[in-house]
Amino acid sequence: MPNSPQTPGIVAQRLPSAQVAQNFATYMPAYDAHEARVAADRCYFCHDAPCMTACPTAIDIPLFIRQIATGTPDAAAKTILAQNIMGGMCARVCPTETLCEEVCVREVAEGKPVEIGRLQRYATDSLMAKGVHPFTRAADTGKRVAVVGAGPAGLSCAHRLALHGHTVTVYDRKPKAGGLNEYGIAAYKSTDDFAAREVEWLLKIGGITVETGKELGRDMTLDGLESSFDAVFLGIGLGGVNALGLGGEDMAGVSNAVDFIADLRQAADKSTLTIGREVVVIGGGMTAVDAAVQAKLLGAQTVTMVYRRGKEKMSASVYEQDHATASGVTIVYGAAPMKIVGAGKVEGVEFRYESGEAFTLKADQVFKAIGQTLVGEPIARDGKKLVQRAGKVWAGGDCAAGGEDLTVTAVAQGRDAAEEMNSVLMGAGA
């Protein structure tokens, strides 16, 4: 939020630029070749592979780790990317602690899993650094498909469709492709402009055109896309943000956590972003954690995250909660927001425990992180979820999953939709 006379506590450069840059660059360093071989040697290569079962994209994890262990990381990368074309980003942001690594036999027996996510990053980064695209597009089928939304679901769908030889046009309302990966992931988890570089690399398959600044309902309609293309995939995400429904919500100093995260991701010098001295984040998901941790990295003196339910109900994993507290964030559980306090600008937030006890947290900045909603052109829905039209329109990602907010799940849904679409398109053309 820009600094102004109304928000004197919210200022830029609470920390020197070099310190902020260092703060955002020290999370989960990459393996070198020796470290990767040592980490890979810990894998038992289980025949039943519970890690593979736990992966939403069903990557053959024992195989790719064995390939790293035998000194063939490029082969490992191809094993990963055949199932998850955005394996590089997923290696950085996947909650592996609740997926593949949680069921690792080493975790069960010793409390320390094979670091599957870091091994996946090592393999995919090694291949991408060479500028190599490991897949070749099939002969042109003559079929044209529209993909609305250039996020993980849309890009995964587009790549798989192009791989099968279809011509794909991807539309996105933002100025850059990437969706959640570009605008919604904590900046400290994805450094060096990785999301944009991954998109550029993915497009090397050929047959995909990306048009940014194009919004469904404003620049095109679903009916128009259906008449112009052989099939349509909707991966529009969740563009709206839930309101608290409290008095004072429009005060200076109160804003959406998703906007804060997006601004951070696009800032060349993150120290120029304004941040309060005493920050309160309302919510219990990954967006809340990402906002809270990054507020600390920018130099906020106190950051308190408040969630209305207990720790076990929090959608952010225990690992992420622990990371937040290790970063200096205080987490308060079981307290619901009742009122934003202030006169024109926020001065605090009143909360109430289930017992009825009320308390007020002093704050000069408040971030709302209580979930997102589907917005845009009226289209078929089932409650909060987008539904597809049989044989012509498919949907995937957060707009269809109701906000699960996992890159890996969106990638899997886009990939699987593309396979269904290919079967229909080629069956119709047979």
CATH number at residue 320: 3.50.50.60
Whether 134 is in a domain gets the answer no
**Are residues 291 and 303 located together in one domain of the fold?**
yes
Whether 139 is in a domain gets the answer no
- pLDDT, tens digit, for every residue of 97-127? 999 999 999 999 999 999 999 999 999 999 9
**Beta pairing class for 167-172 and 144-148:** parallel
Whether 135 is in a domain gets the answer no
Whether 320 is in a domain gets the answer yes
- pLDDT, tens digit, for every residue of 388-407? 565 689 988 888 865 566 89
Q: Which domain does 312 fall in, by range?
A: 17-25+242-371
Q: How many domains does the chain have?
A: 3
Whether 136 is in a domain gets the answer no
Which pLDDT does position 28 carry in this prediction? 85
Whether 379 is in a domain gets the answer yes
Angstrom distances, CA of residue 232 to CA of 151, 169, 240, 387: 15, 10, 22, 12
**Are residues 379 and 231 located together in one domain of the fold?**
yes
**Are residues 280 and 349 located together in one domain of the fold?**
yes
**Are residues 286 and 347 located together in one domain of the fold?**
yes
- From first to last of its 430 residues, the chain has per-residue pLDDT tens of 443 434 678 999 999 999 999 999 978 889 999 999 999 999 999 989 999 999 999 999 999 999 999 999 999 999 999 999 999 999 999 999 999 999 999 999 999 999 999 999 999 999 999 998 999 999 999 999 999 999 999 999 999 999 999 999 999 999 999 999 999 999 999 999 999 999 999 999 999 999 999 999 899 999 899 999 999 999 998 888 889 999 889 999 999 999 999 999 999 999 999 999 999 999 999 999 999 999 999 999 999 999 999 999 999 999 999 999 999 999 999 999 999 999 989 999 999 999 999 999 999 999 999 988 877 654 544 444 455 565 689 988 888 865 566 899 999 999 999 999 999 999 954 4
**Are residues 359 and 256 located together in one domain of the fold?**
yes
**Are residues 166 and 212 located together in one domain of the fold?**
yes
Complete edge-to-edge strand list for the sheet that includes strand 254-256: 254-256, 365-368, 278-282, 302-307, 329-333
Q: Look up the CATH number of the domain holding residue 38.
A: 1.10.1060.10
- Give the HSE-up count for residue 311: Cα atoms under 13 Å, Cβ half-sphere: 9
**Are residues 246 and 367 located together in one domain of the fold?**
yes
Rounded CA-CA distance 280/301 in Å is: 11
**Are residues 113 and 50 located together in one domain of the fold?**
yes
